[in-house]
């Protein structure tokens, strides 16, 4: 019988986060934890299936799984956005198939002329709400060495690899599941980590825009929020989203109130367990800080 347990793994600031969901009658969060890791996943170029710290990483995950009694046989990883090439570009709406693939690879080469495209897995997805003759295409490029490293780690753990995603977009799944009322309005999702802030616009639950911003000062979040809202107003004529949601690290009540005060838009930290059934064995402080685990929870929710 196929296991109903899925585990998601994410990485923030030298920490590994794990979340396990039991997809029974109701999605139940059965494990939520984190620990330090010796690997820095923001430097993707250094990774390969033969990475010298592969077995250290496998050991770290094994310990996390044992301590939290993880039963899942299927695992997914959410990569930090720092080492991943992500962009939204306009393309001719008539481009399809091989022509679109060729154009996307050419576009990638304009940003990274010093690295061969063959070293990357490049995917492209058309975004909704494009214009008649021009469509917006969302590009993600991940180094094959990083993918190979995670595949081998999964094999060493004797598990099945389900998905490799990006943490900002994995968090969108946690948002959609826990905030179904937002599927009827516009929402801006900000992902916080040291040195970087990711911003996405969701229209009725669908991601239609993404940008990344540097975060090098305590005031960076305020500036980023105002900058992204101004960009959306200029680009799409969006006057004001219905809500701003924050996820990631160091999201305090003061952070939330500061953003809401600056924008006059309802703001909150992503409660990634809001509509989930919770196991009694979960560590309560982690449950209260579930926005930091949003990517891992979002991945674990993706059983299909």
Q: Write out pLDDT tens, residues 194-248.
A: 889 999 999 888 898 999 999 888 789 999 999 999 999 888 777 789 999 999 9
Residues sharing a CB contact under 8 Å with residue 139, sequence separation 6 or more, in sequence order: 85, 86, 87, 88, 89, 104, 107, 108, 122, 123, 124
Q: What is the pLDDT of residues 113-152, one digit of tens each?
A: 888 889 999 998 888 766 677 888 889 999 999 999 999 9
Rounded Cα distance, 289 and 157, in Å: 28
Q: Judge if 16 and 137 occupy the same domain.
A: no
Q: Judge if 157 and 25 occupy the same domain.
A: yes
Q: Is the pLDDT of residue 294 over 90?
A: yes
Ramachandran bin of 176, using left for φ above 0, alpha for ψ from -120 to 50, beta for the remaining angles: alpha
Q: Which residue has the higher pLDDT, 206 or 154?
A: 154
Residues sharing a CB contact under 8 Å with residue 158, sequence separation 6 or more, in sequence order: none
Q: Which residue has the higher pLDDT, 176 or 130?
A: 176
Q: Which residue has the higher pLDDT, 183 or 6?
A: 6
Indicate the number of domains in the chain.
3
Q: Residue 149 belongs to a domain with what CATH number?
A: 3.30.420.40
Burial class of 225 by CB neighbour count within 10 A (0 to 12, 13 to 18, 19+): buried
The CA angle 76-181-223, to the nearest 5 degrees, is 75
Q: Judge if 265 and 277 occupy the same domain.
A: no
Q: Judge if 149 and 291 occupy the same domain.
A: yes
Rounded Cα distance, 47 and 207, in Å: 29
What's residue 96's pLDDT?
Answer: 86
Q: Judge if 64 and 199 occupy the same domain.
A: no
Q: Which residue range is the domain that position 102 belongs to?
A: 85-141
What's residue 131's pLDDT?
Answer: 67
Q: Judge if 89 and 210 occupy the same domain.
A: no
Give the per-residue SS3 of the chain: CCCCEEEEEEEECCEEEEEEEEECCCEEEEEEEEEECCCCCCCHHHCCCCCCCHHHHHHHHHHHHHHCCCCCCEEEEEECCCCCEEEEEEEECCCCHHHHHHHHHHHHHHHCCCCCHHHEEEEEEECCCCCCCEEEEEEEEEEHHHHHHHHHHHHHCCCEEEEEEEHHHHHHHHHHHHCHHHHHCEEEEEEEECEEEEEEEEECCEEEEEEEEEECCCCHHHHHHHHHHHHHHHHHCCCCCCEEEEEECCCCHHHHHHHHHHHCCCEEECCCCCCCEECCCCCHHHHHCHHHHHHHHHHHCCCC
The CA angle 244-6-59, to the nearest 5 degrees, is 105
Q: Judge if 100 and 210 occupy the same domain.
A: no
User: What percent of the chain has a predicted confidence (pLDDT) above 90?
Assistant: 67
Q: Judge if 61 and 17 occupy the same domain.
A: yes
Q: Is the pLDDT of residue 190 over 70?
A: yes
User: Can you tell me the mean pLDDT for 97-114?
Assistant: 89
- In which order are the strands placed within the sheet that holds 134-143? 85-92, 134-143, 120-126
Q: Judge if 42 and 163 occupy the same domain.
A: yes
Q: What is the pLDDT of residues 52-78, one digit of tens each?
A: 999 999 999 999 999 999 989 999 999
Q: Judge if 151 and 19 occupy the same domain.
A: yes
What's residue 1's pLDDT?
Answer: 42
Q: Judge if 166 and 235 occupy the same domain.
A: no
Q: Judge if 149 and 77 occupy the same domain.
A: yes
Rounded Cα distance, 249 and 257, in Å: 16
The CA angle 289-160-20, to the nearest 5 degrees, is 20
Q: What is the mean pLDDT of the chain?
A: 91
User: Can you tell me the mean pLDDT for 172-184?
Assistant: 93
């Amino acid at each position: 019988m196929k296991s109903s347990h899925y585990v998601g793994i994410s990485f923030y600031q030298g920490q590994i986060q794990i979340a396990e969901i039991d997809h029974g009658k109701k999605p139940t969060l059965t494990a939520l934890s984190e620990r330090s890791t010796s690997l820095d996943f923001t430097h993707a170029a250094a990774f390969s299936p033969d990475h010298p710290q592969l077995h250290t990483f496998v050991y770290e995950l094994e310990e996390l799984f044992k301590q939290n009694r993880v039963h899942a046989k299927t695992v997914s990883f959410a990569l930090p956005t720092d080492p991943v090439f992500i962009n939204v570009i306009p393309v001719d709406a008539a481009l399809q198939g091989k022509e679109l693939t060729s154009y996307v690879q050419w576009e990638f080469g304009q940003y990274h002329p010093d690295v061969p495209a063959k070293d990357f897995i490049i995917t492209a997805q058309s975004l909704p709400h494009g214009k008649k003759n021009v469509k917006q295409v969302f590009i993600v490029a991940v180094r094959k060495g990083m993918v190979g490293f995670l595949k081998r780690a999964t094999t060493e753990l004797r598990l099945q690899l389900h998905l490799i995603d990006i943490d900002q977009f994995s968090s969108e799944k946690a948002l959609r599941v826990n905030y179904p009322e937002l599927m009827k309005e516009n929402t801006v999702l900000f992902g916080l980590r040291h040195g970087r802030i990711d911003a996405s616009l969701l229209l009725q639950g669908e991601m239609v825009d993404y940008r990344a911003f540097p975060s090098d000062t305590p005031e960076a979040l305020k500036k980023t929020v105002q900058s992204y809202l101004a960009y959306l107003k200029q680009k799409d004529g969006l006057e004001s989203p219905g809500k701003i949601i924050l996820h990631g690290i160091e999201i305090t009540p003061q952070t939330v109130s500061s953003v809401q005060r600056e924008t006059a838009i309802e703001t909150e930290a992503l409660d990634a367990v809001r509509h989930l059934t919770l196991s009694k064995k979960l560590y309560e402080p982690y449950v209260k800080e579930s926005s930091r685990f949003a990517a891992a929870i979002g991945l674990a929710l993706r059983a299909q």
